[in-house]
């Protein structure tokens, strides 16, 4: 059966209101950085997230792609900012087993060092799994790793730690645990002025935060502000979810078409505290079938106050992430979830 392709979006570019936060999407760079940059502009994204290299391999390319400088200039000229790099899925900052622990620190350090070549001011990474050794041991390892990588990181790049849904010993499922990680990083001597966090809505949902209720969504931001401070909320990965609330699962869905729904996601998008502080990045399915444009427009509608979104065709559902298909089997410390980004070219 042929893959379902989204209907062509109107050619009129999205015009975001002045009170809107920066809204972007994760796009693949398999066809070149410039292709991703131009696609972001075409579909109305004002920010962008990419992989700087293969997200499922340790080996890194020796130099940035040939079009890196052109990409940086293009994004600057078109106002696509910030650019975020999503670090390799293999990195596990919380595990102590070698050689993975050393490879994780070295791999994250490389991502931070290389970020300026892509014009990236943010490097987002999964915190990782304590692998059965307990949260306290895992948090101590995270703090040591963060102190190490930030010690040599470029001054204009922030490290962004992403929350988890909590399966498989993954740290950061609760806001309280994220706050504990921040405290531990400070105690370990990390340059915490360059440490920030990402809240993935599908992960929050899997961890038991009821974002379907607009009041519940706002309470999450209230609690984050109380424990950590919204100035450290650099990213929100805006995704709906196929998983059940509190299931520890993480399966991303098109905006407004999953179990979270448009009410809570819209409340997050319209929260007046986010513009100028937090960038929203979509990691929704079907990027290679044109659903990047569909989901960007759905986010635009949510920000403008929509509480109902159009019904998507049956073929839009059940799409898998291309990176997960390439990998085949996920590492043991990542089995709570599918890949958090589509990683497929439009």
Average pLDDT for the chain: 90
Tokens standing for 55?
């997200």
The closest alpha carbon to 111, from 183, 103, 76, 328, belongs to: 103
In this predicted structure, the answer to whether residue 323 has a pLDDT above a threshold of 70 is no
CA-to-CA dists, residue 269 to 151, 237, 292, 329, angstroms = 34, 11, 17, 34
Determine the pLDDT at residue 338.
31
In this predicted structure, the answer to whether residue 335 has a pLDDT above a threshold of 50 is no
pTM attached to this predicted model: 0.90
CATH superfamily of 22-334: Divalent-metal-dependent TIM barrel enzymes (3.20.20.150)
Determine the pLDDT at residue 160.
98
Contact 51, 60 (CB under 8 A): no
In this predicted structure, the answer to whether residue 342 has a pLDDT above a threshold of 50 is no
Q: What is the pLDDT of residues 45-87, one digit of tens each?
A: 999 999 999 999 999 999 999 999 999 999 999 999 999 999 9
What would the DSSP string read from start to end of 267-336?
HHHT-TTSTTT-EEEE--S-GGGTHHHHHHHHHHHHHTT-S--PPPPGGGTTPPPHHHHHH-S--GGGTT
What would the DSSP string read from start to end of 240-269?
EESSPTTSS-B-EE-TTSSSS-HHHHHHHH
Determine the pLDDT at residue 288.
87
Determine the pLDDT at residue 345.
24
Domain positions in the chain are 22-334
In 10 A of CB 265, how many CB atoms? 28
The closest alpha carbon to 118, from 80, 160, 162, belongs to: 80
What is the rounded average pLDDT of the residues 192-214? 98
Q: Residue 56, SS3?
A: coil
Tokens standing for 113?
């060092």
In this predicted structure, the answer to whether residue 339 has a pLDDT above a threshold of 50 is no
pLDDT band of residue 34 (cuts 50, 70, 90) is very high
Across the chain, where does the E strand assignment appear?
A: 22-26, 47-50, 83-86, 120-126, 158-162, 195-200, 233-238, 240-241, 252-253, 279-282
Minimum mean pLDDT among 3-17, 167-181, 222-236, 323-337: which range? 323-337
The closest alpha carbon to 204, from 214, 222, 217, 192, belongs to: 217
């Amino acid at each position: 059966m042929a893959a379902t392709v989204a209907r062509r979006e109107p050619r009129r570019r999205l015009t975001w209101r002045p009170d809107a936060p920066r809204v972007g999407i994760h796009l693949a760079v398999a066809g070149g950085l410039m292709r991703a940059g131009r696609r972001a502009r075409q579909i109305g994204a004002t920010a962008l997230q990419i992989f700087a290299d293969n997200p499922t391999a340790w080996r890194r390319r020796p130099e940035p792609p040939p079009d890196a400088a052109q990409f940086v200039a293009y994004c600057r000229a078109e106002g696509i900012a910030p650019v975020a790099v999503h670090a390799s899925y293999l990195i596990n900052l919380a595990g102590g087993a070698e050689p993975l622990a050393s490879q994780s620190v070295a791999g994250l350090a490389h991502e931070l060092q290389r970020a300026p070549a892509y014009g990236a001011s943010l490097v987002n990474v999964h915190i990782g799994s304590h692998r059965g050794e307990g949260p306290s041991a895992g948090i101590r390892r995270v703090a040591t790793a963060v102190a190490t990588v930030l010690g040599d990181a470029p001054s204009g790049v922030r490290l962004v730690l992403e929350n988890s849904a909590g399966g498989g010993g993954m740290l950061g499922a609760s806001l309280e645990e994220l706050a504990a990680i921040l405290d531990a990083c400070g105690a370990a001597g990390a340059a915490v002025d360059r440490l920030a966090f990402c809240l993935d809505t599908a992960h929050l949902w899997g961890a038991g935060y009821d974002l379907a209720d607009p009041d519940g969504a706002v309470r999450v931001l209230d609690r984050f502000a109380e424990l950590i401070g919204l100035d450290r909320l650099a990213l929100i990965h805006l995704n709906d979810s196929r998983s059940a609330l509190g299931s520890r699962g993480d399966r991303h869905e098109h905006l407004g078409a999953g179990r979270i729904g448009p009410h809570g996601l819209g409340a997050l998008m319209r929260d007046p505290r986010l513009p100028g502080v937090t960038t929203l990045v979509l990691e929704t399915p079907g990027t290679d079938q044109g659903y990047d444009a569909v989901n960007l427009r759905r986010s635009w509608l949510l920000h403008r106050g929509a509480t109902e979104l159009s019904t998507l065709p049956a073929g839009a559902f059940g799409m898998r992430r291309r990176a997960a298909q390439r990998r085949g089997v996920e590492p043991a410390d990542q089995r709570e979830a599918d890949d958090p980004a589509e990683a497929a070219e439009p």
